[in-house]
Amino acid sequence: MKSKIKNISGCSRTLNIEVSSTELIEKFEQVYKDIGRSANLPGFRRGKAPRDLLELHYSEKAKEEVIRRAIPQYYLKAVNEERLTPVAPPEIENVQFKDHAFYFSARVDVRPEVKLKSYKGLRLKKRKVKVEAEQVEQALERLRQSKAKDAKNVDRQEKALPELNDAFAQDLGFATVQELKDAIDKDLRAHTEMEIQREIKQQLLDQLLQRASLDTPESLIKAQMQESLKQLKMNRMLRGEKKEDIETKQKELEAEARKEAVQRIRLSFILEEVGQLEDIQADEKGLAQRIAEISQHTGRPEDEVRQYLDKQNLIPGLKAELREKKIIEFLLQEAKIEEEK
């Protein structure tokens, strides 16, 4: 086998591969043996037809089968010889037999080189956890309205808003109104803290994107774009937009989906680069913990969950997810987070 590599642009490469007739002899032998086992030719019992007759009647079928078997084998061989790291399946082109040899081209996107400036000690801002008395009062009002609505649904008649007193609090499982207010304040603070953590994480990811230079494989963009486009349309439908109105904005949504896809893909390669530089890996302990969480959520035994994930080949994806989480946690620990005054 001979192969030549050509850089097209960015992450795209073309492998031009030639397989000699000598290398194909064994493949044709095996293919004709397989064809012969089921070939039904007049005057011969099944599986007993001579090779020359099989070639006469099944040459095209044999050639197609040799191509089907040869392309994956020699593509992978060329990839290994050229030390490429494909990030998506190849596009096979220009398949042909010529002068008893077999030729084809494989266009493939490879892992981009990530040039990343310093990623430790990133400066991030954190706003204070603050809950106003007005927010607590608004939450109490929503609870009163919800209670009145529930009573109306039961009795089929309009109900007045319940009084905000200890009896109302006790109906919700609290001894006093003050206990209820304290619980609401605590929940609002916890929710605000979660929002703040998301904001800090987003700042971190935004800075990583600004500090990195890399090409984005087009094949991955196309695949991710389809998923992003579906999600954007679904979000708009959930917000009440009509399907026909959404379809009129196809180009606008495609542009938004592409931008989102490019960011996601770039981030995945940037985080992968950090993970390699810092030797961060998903460990068995983290995997076991995640499986335990899935078990608790689904009500299925942990060993059954693991067997299912393994059978569906979902373990590698789960490990990649856990590894990415560990990388982000590492970057947040190394960051300089300043609380806003």
| Structure confidence by residue, pLDDT tens digits, 116-175 | 989 999 999 999 999 999 999 999 999 999 888 888 777 777 777 888 899 999 999 999
Same domain, 137 and 164: yes
Question: What is the three-class DSSP state of 86?
Answer: strand
With a cut of 90, say whether residue 21 has pLDDT above it.
no
pLDDT at residue 340, as a whole number: 83
Let me know the angle formed at the C-alpha of 303 by 299 and 306, rounded to the nearest 5 degrees. Answer: 95
- Span 50-74, mean pLDDT? 89
pLDDT at residue 71, as a whole number: 94
Domain-terminating residue out of 214, 241, 266: 214
Same domain, 194 and 239: no
Same domain, 201 and 269: no
Same domain, 257 and 310: no
- Span 215-222, mean pLDDT? 92
Same domain, 122 and 133: yes
Q: Tokens 């992450």 sit at which residue? A: 11
Domain-terminating residue out of 80, 111, 142: 111
Same domain, 194 and 274: no
Helices (DSSP H) in the chain: which residue ranges? 21-38, 51-82, 133-155, 166-171, 177-211, 218-238, 243-247, 250-278, 284-298, 302-311, 315-334
Domain-terminating residue out of 73, 92, 111: 111
- Span 200-211, mean pLDDT? 96
Same domain, 171 and 231: no
Same domain, 17 and 105: yes
With a cut of 90, say whether residue 215 has pLDDT above it.
yes
For residue 41, what is the domain's CATH number? 3.30.70.1050
- Span 13-41, mean pLDDT? 89
Same domain, 290 and 258: no
pLDDT at residue 207, as a whole number: 96
pLDDT digits (tens, 9 = 90+) for 303-335: 999 999 999 999 999 999 999 999 999 999 999
Same domain, 120 and 207: yes
pTM for this entry: 0.82
Q: What are phi and psi of 325, to 5 degrees?
A: -60, -45
The total number of structural domains in the chain stands at 4
Question: What is the three-class DSSP state of 108?
Answer: strand
What is the Cα–Cα distance from 273 to 305, expressed in whole angstroms?
31
Name the pLDDT band for 105 (thresholds 50, 70, 90).
very high
Q: Which of 293, 234, 269 is nearest to 114 (CA)?
A: 269
Span of 150-164, 222-236, 256-270 with lowest mean pLDDT: 150-164
**Under 8 Å between Cβ of 208 and 3:** no
With a cut of 90, say whether residue 57 has pLDDT above it.
no
Same domain, 151 and 208: yes
Same domain, 74 and 122: no
> In 34-67, which positions are buried (b, 16+ CB within 10 angstroms) versus exposed (e)?
ebbeebebeeeeeeebeeeebeeebeeebeebbb
pLDDT at residue 59, as a whole number: 87
**Under 8 Å between Cβ of 249 and 229:** no
Q: Residue 262: give the domain boundaries.
A: 216-278
